[in-house]
Amino acid sequence: MHVLILGGTSEARRLAELLHATPGVTPTSSLAGRVASPRLPPGEVRVGGFGGVEGLTAWLREHRVDVLIDATHPFAGTISFHAAWAAATAHVPLLALRRPGWVPVEGDDWHDAGSLEEAALLLPALGRRVFLTTGRMGLAAFAALDELWFLVRSVDAPEAPHPARLEVLLERGPFTLDGERELIRRHRIDVVVTKDSGGGATAPKLTAAREAGLPVVVVRRPPVPEGVPVVSDPESAARWVGERLEGDSRTTG
């Protein structure tokens, strides 16, 4: 069984490990190539885009993909919809692997935003020194906020357009609670902006913000395409693949 994993997340790497160790399964992980030095999963790896829906559909057919798993970042909305269209066209079963989103707890001061642009509109009323943890893509949404100072944390250096008053931290998670506390204190942060990425690797910033009494602007994640089944962890995705492998074995047997 050939499984194509649309990856780039820690969950995708873990799934590749599980499937690579499963007899009868050949995983191929596809990475978008937006990070200069990605952590490569086991098994076959391809880097770069497919060329839209048509390109992905052709790749599924040419490489005889039996199962497609969308394990991309929760905010990689375009590729998720491309995957849904391509899987339906090529008649390939599709599963979405999405880590659960964050849930506010008592003491949190969260402000909901439907997009980066909406988050930017909220900021002037919330603070002046912004810890922006939405990644290097999409900084143009905040470029006009000249009166605010931004601390941006990302794996690779951001490109223009971006806010004029900007300091960049090139770091990769996971991050510790003590580290996030010190970062907020040292840079005198008074508001945090994050996407609802979920998971534990970057969650300590939310605890640190709650302890410091800081407002947090949380950008909602886009929905999974309608009709696509969703699991929340790599082990469940691996079982889903195993069930199809077992079903194929019964059919051919």
Tens of pLDDT along the chain (253 residues)?
Answer: 999 999 988 999 999 999 999 999 999 999 987 665 677 898 999 998 899 999 999 999 999 999 999 999 888 878 999 999 999 999 999 999 999 999 999 999 999 999 999 999 999 999 999 999 998 888 999 999 999 999 999 888 888 899 999 999 998 888 999 999 999 999 999 999 999 989 887 899 999 999 999 999 999 999 899 999 999 999 999 999 999 988 775 555 5
Indicate if 67 and 147 belong to the same structural domain.
Answer: no
Give the range of the structural domain holding residue 72, as residue numbers without chain letter: 2-100+222-252
* DSSP assignments along the chain, one per residue: -EEEEE--SHHHHHHHHHHHTSTT-EEEEEE---SSS--PPSSEEEES--SHHHHHHHHHHHTT-SEEEE---TT-HHHHHHHHHHHHHHT--EEEE-PPPP---TT-EEEEESSHHHHHHHGGGT-SEEEE-S-STTGGGGTT-TTSEEEEEESS---SS--SSEEEEE--S---HHHHHHHHHHTT--EEEEE---SSSSTHHHHHHHHHT-EEEEEPPPPPPTT--EESSHHHHHHHHHHHHHHHHHHH-
Counted domains in the chain: 2
Asked if 213 and 108 touch (Cβ cutoff 8 Å), the reply is no
Please report the pLDDT score of residue 184 as a whole number. 98
Q: Write the CATH number for 151.
A: 3.40.50.720
Indicate if 247 and 197 belong to the same structural domain.
Answer: no
Indicate if 78 and 92 belong to the same structural domain.
Answer: yes
Please report the pLDDT score of residue 192 as a whole number. 98
Indicate if 121 and 210 belong to the same structural domain.
Answer: yes
Please report the pLDDT score of residue 34 as a whole number. 64
* pTM assigned to the model: 0.82
Number of alpha carbons in the 13 Å side-chain half-sphere of residue 88: 11
Indicate if 137 and 177 belong to the same structural domain.
Answer: yes
Indicate if 214 and 114 belong to the same structural domain.
Answer: yes
Cα dihedral 241, 245, 251, 253, rounded to 10, equals: -170
Please report the pLDDT score of residue 91 as a whole number. 97
Neighbours of 167 (CB within 10 A): 11
